[in-house]
Amino acid sequence: MYEYHIEGGFPVKGTVKASGNKNAALPCIAATILTDKPVILHNLPEIEDVQVMLEIVESLGGSVRKIGTNSYELTTSNILRTDIAAQHSKKIRASILFAGPLLSRAGKAVLPPPGGDVIGRRRLDTHFLALTELGARVDIDGQFTFTANKLKGQDIFLDEASVTATENALMAAVLAEGTTILANCASEPHVQDLCNLLNLMGARITGIGSNTLTIEGVDTLQGAEYTIGPDYMEIGSFIGLAAVTHGHLSITGIAPRDMRPIKMAFGKLGIRWDIDGSMLTVPAQQTLQVNTDLGGMIPKIDDAPWPGFPPDLTSIMTVVATQVEGTVLIHEKMFESRMFFVDKLIGMGARITLCDPHRAVVTGPSVLQGSELVSPDVRAGMAMVIAALCARGESVIRNVYQIERGYENLAARLQGLGAHIERRLTCS
């Protein structure tokens, strides 16, 4: 096990390249099960979650070959098994994404309950309802067993705009008989990445980027070569880090359209940036001040399904708000346990009132003091890193495995930007 030792108070500066979108990489890896031909994926982030997904592909009978930096060739000529090992599923929630592809390709999928971040109740009902409507049978007895003779297209209205349920239904529908309409579905950039990959493989998906997708089933899918888009969650994290450390930071490889909802939220905290093509630059001289609503009312930063503000960035925004003059309400509507990490920020000196499991009022700026912390999940862990880097003194963050599940080579990349951070083996 590793931990981070961080000395705060040093501005980050320089240039960093955005990693590939973790949340696009995971379903795209699962989608390679849908064909017996090679699929080449570029810009896969070198993180723990990706490695676990690649191991699952191999365990099902596929071959995984690294062909370059962040590039892999995946081929599953034959499905040798249809069950996901518990050792894999407990590590990553995205293991559920193999249900749709295995059903389509082999007619059966057996999955233990998935693990992943503990940020509140993360229901799987939408997955089951969508796959059942396509013709699957679901048995629950300590694990989930999906079976189907032949999936058939349906007009499906999802009971929530779940990203992974949308992706599972998509991957089940592309080889189903007839036409499927998915309404009230997720439309995040990573869902769009999956749709674009599937279309390159021969699927017929229209409505990409909207909340209604139409899938005309095909008999078979072919191989393809695809480049995963940039991770706007990582980009948002680096923007927040640059702002609170008063650093000058350029981020290359961005997709400007993905930044629009994020820009609106950061703008409420007085944080701005410039975009030139695929490069985003956060200037050092920022007026970190809350922009109040009309009449001087306290503004709110709240998350929502795309194109709303991404829930994965609410933890980051909470830390950033501690360094901004004024008061703001952070409203995390989607996960009831995600805001509980704020007690650690309060212990560092932040002025935060946790109103309930979903809402926190933050008043800044506060002088944060270094502390000993434990990362509870990917995003809260990164928020703690940002807090430590703008705090006075030294901080130690443990359980960084959780952070590194979502951020590629984080300590080394931050060192390259001038941050005082070391990754050390845990002394215990």
Residues assigned a catalytic role: 117
State residue 40 phi and psi, 5-degree precision.
Answer: -105, 125
CB-facing half-sphere around the CA of 137: CA atoms within 13 A: 7
DSSP class of residue 325 equals B
Q: How many residues are recorded in the chain? A: 428
Determine the Cα–Cα distance for residues 239 and 327; give it in Å rounded to an integer. 20
Determine the Cα–Cα distance for residues 28 and 196; give it in Å rounded to an integer. 10
Strand order through the sheet with 39-42? 63-68, 71-75, 39-42, 224-227
Cα–Cα separations (whole angstroms), residue 71 to 117, 225, 345, 408:
26, 10, 38, 14
Strand order through the sheet with 279-282? 13-17, 248-252, 279-282, 274-276
- Paired residues of 282 in beta bridges: 249
Tell me the torsion sign for CA atoms 43, 47, 52, 58: positive
